Amino acid sequence: MSLKEAQLSQEQIEFFHREGYLVVENLFQNDELNPLRRELAEGIDEKVEQLLMDGLLTETYPSESLETRLVKIYRDNEEVGRQVMYYLEGLGGGGYHGQEMFNLIRHPNMLKLAESILGPELVSSSIYRLRTKVPGDKMKEVPWHQDSGYFSSHCDSHLILTCWIPLVDAFRENGCLEVIPRSHRFGIVEHHQCSDKEGYLLIKDENLPESGEPKITVEVKAGSVLLLTNLTAHCSLPNRTDEIRWSVDLRYQSAKTPNNVDLWPEENPADYEKNLQIACSPPEADFVVQNNRNPEKAVDFEGFLQRRKAYYQHGYPKEERWKPETVH
């Protein structure tokens, strides 16, 4: 899709605001996702080589594809397979910070699409996620929730755009998303801690927004993008195939929405805890990805890494993301 075509039509924008979701077909040519796929495959190579040297692996399946290699390793030794997955994802899926992930966040088509809905001054955040949905892994089945369930309450009235991008064709059998159309019109609903999945929130069936619309299964081909509001109720289905469903979800917001782009953990430490609460997802670093009036404010790759690392080193988020043995 050309940059001009990435600009949403008025009809698409109206559908998104009315229904709370939108599928944008063929935003990327298939080969435009290949650099990220290759980078992920290289990350698997690195971790597998380390595990082989440590004597934890005997078969590495080097000829298998990105969709099947980890499946084979999981079947031989699930714990070793999880080590490879965690090396890529980090805790919760937000640890990956390779060059090609950043290139996708700053891809001109992504920015043009986000600008169509949010305006020209755009902020992204470290709450993007890499999703490695291994067949049969219950922890990868995400329960019904709204993204705002994870955000600060003072951002519930703001639009934070989720862009869900499959790196392979996503369909019912391999665990695509289900959505409740128009559920975003009910505001934030009650969320509960998941008793069997640490770190997940869920909306119980009795609390699901009754929009009058049936739940729909949203199948999305690689190169296309599913857009969601932060109030749209959604979940992901089990992967019942023999291949991994790889996807990423990116988030964008208007620069007018609360953010921490001007806050550095090492500055004014006495006020840091208080000032941290200005952001929608307080523990994680926001960064400018587009500023048409002051283009120099948009971060480059080094600036992206610098902000993420600064937050980690000061304990936000409290994870092991920046240790070489746990993150690529």
Across 82-106, average pLDDT? 87
Return the structure tokens found at 199.
């770190």
Query: Residue 292 CA to chain centroid, in angstroms?
Result: 25
What span, in angstroms and rounded, lies between the C-alpha atoms of 125 and 289?
9
What span, in angstroms and rounded, lies between the C-alpha atoms of 142 and 318?
22
Angle at 162 between CA 161 and CA 168, to 5 degrees: 150
Q: How confident is the model at residue 263 (pLDDT cuts 50, 70, 90)?
A: confident
Q: How confident is the model at residue 267 (pLDDT cuts 50, 70, 90)?
A: low
- What's the mean pLDDT when you consider all of the chain? 89
User: What are the residues whose beta carbons fall under 8 Å from the beta carbon of 22, sequence distance 6 or more?
Assistant: 8, 12, 15, 16, 226, 227
Query: Residue 296 CA to chain centroid, in angstroms?
Result: 25
* pLDDT reported for residue 317: 47
Distance set, CA 205 to CA 180, 209, 292 (Å):
12, 9, 44
- Which of these CATH numbers, 3.40.50.300, 2.60.120.620, 3.40.50.620, 1.20.140.10, describes 3-313? 2.60.120.620
Across 268-297, average pLDDT? 80
Q: How confident is the model at residue 226 (pLDDT cuts 50, 70, 90)?
A: very high
Given a cut of 50, is residue 320 above it in pLDDT? no
Kindly list the domain boundaries of the chain, sorted by start residue: 3-313
E strand or H helix at 150, and its extent?
Answer: none
Residue-level length of the chain = 328
What span, in angstroms and rounded, lies between the C-alpha atoms of 230 and 150?
10
- Output the pTM of the full model: 0.92
Is residue 181 within 8 A of residue 207, CB to CB? The reply is no
What span, in angstroms and rounded, lies between the C-alpha atoms of 19 and 213?
10
Q: What are phi and psi of 195, to 5 degrees?
A: -70, -30
- Count how many Cα atoms sit within 13 Å of the Cα of residue 137 in the half-sphere of its side chain: 22
